[in-house]
Structure formats: C-alpha cells, structure tokens
Amino acid sequence: MPDTTPYVIDEMISAKSIAARIEALAKEIRAEFDGSEQLVVVGLLRGSFVFIADLVRELDLPVEVDFIEASSYGDGMESSREVRILKDLRSGIENRDVLVVEDIVDTGFTLSHVERLLRNRAPRRLKTIALLDKPTRREVDVRADWTGFEIPDEFVVGYGIDYAQRDRNLPYIGKVRFTSD
C-alpha cells in the first residue's frame, strides 16, 4: 500500500443524507427518462461504484449497467490533467439513452473527457450525474446535469472515493484532516 501522511477523517455528509438525496435525484432522473426503452447507466470506475449501486436501485426504470474506467489521479492527490481510459464500455450506445454516473467533479477533466468520448458515439440522449461537485476547483468548463452536493475545496474520502486507494468503503463522505505528528 502506498505511504500516506497521517490523517484522520471527519464526517462531512452522513450516509442518511446521501440516501435521502439519492432518492430525490432518482425521482428527477426517472421523470427525465420516462418511456425510455432501456437506459444505459455508465459508472466511472472506480470512484462511482458505491453511488451507482445505490442510484440504480432507486431508479424504477429498465436499465443496463456498464462501466468505463478512467483515471487521472492514480495514487496522488493532484490531477494529472491527463485522462486515461483503462476499460471501455462493453456495449455500444449509438441511439441509446445514457446516464453517466460520477462520484465527484473536481477540475472537470475526467467528466469532460468521458462526456466527449461518449457523445462521439452518437447516443440518443446523454446526461450526467455527480454525487459531489467542487465548483471552486474547476479548470474545464463542465457541469453535471444533476449534482448531489456542492462541497468546498476539501479532500474527501468515502462512499467510493479514495485517498491513495484507501477509505472507499466508508459508508459516508468524510473530510481528510492531516495530523502532523
């Protein structure tokens, strides 16, 4: 496991608040895609795996679940600004309804890259959702169609989000606080 500076985690968004927010978002998405033959819900690995699992279970719609793995951070804290596709979709999305599910939009490089990539495949409709948004960090002009929570520029972990591959399994969103000793 890579070394990390010692830190503690303070709860920022509880599991209960996340669940309530997802329920509300799912209603909006359901209304948007009402009548869709089959919605392709695309999770961006790895960070979105918890969010997509909870979201699709609240979506009362026929869905296909697929994944793309895009990575820009590796094990570091800084975006490399270079998005690598490590795993592509299994299905074609031409003429289909697609919902891209992301855990967090930070600089915006990941979401804008994936959105462009998928739009080139001529989906019928493509929408995006992010659980968290850090608007003050944006370097690329991109915005998810739905956002769970806007958060300040804090280093967050949990609910799928990692720090050097740790803490993805926390049931809540926590704030990393570095301890000097």
Q: Give the residues lining the site for ligand PRP (CB under 6 A).
A: 44-47, 71-73, 79, 102-110, 162
From Mn ion, ligand PRP, Mg ion, none, interface partner of 4 (C-beta below 5 to 8 A by class): none
163 binds Mg ion (CB under 5 A): no
Query: What's the CA gap between 125 and 45, in Å, rounded?
Result: 21
Q: Hey, which residues between 41 and 80 contact Mg ion (CB under 5 A)?
A: 73
Point out the residues that are catalytic: 106
**Largest Cα–Cα separation, the chain:** 57
47 binds Mn ion (CB under 5 A): yes
Question: What is the C-alpha R_g of the chain?
Answer: 16
Residues binding Mn ion: number (CB under 5 A): 1
Identify the three-state secondary structure at position 47. coil
Smallest gap from residue 106 Cβ to Mn ion (A):
9
Q: Are 172 and 4 in contact (CB under 8 A)?
A: no
Angle between helices 49-58 and 15-32 (to 10 degrees): 60
Residue numbers at the binding site for Mg ion (CB under 5 A): 73, 162
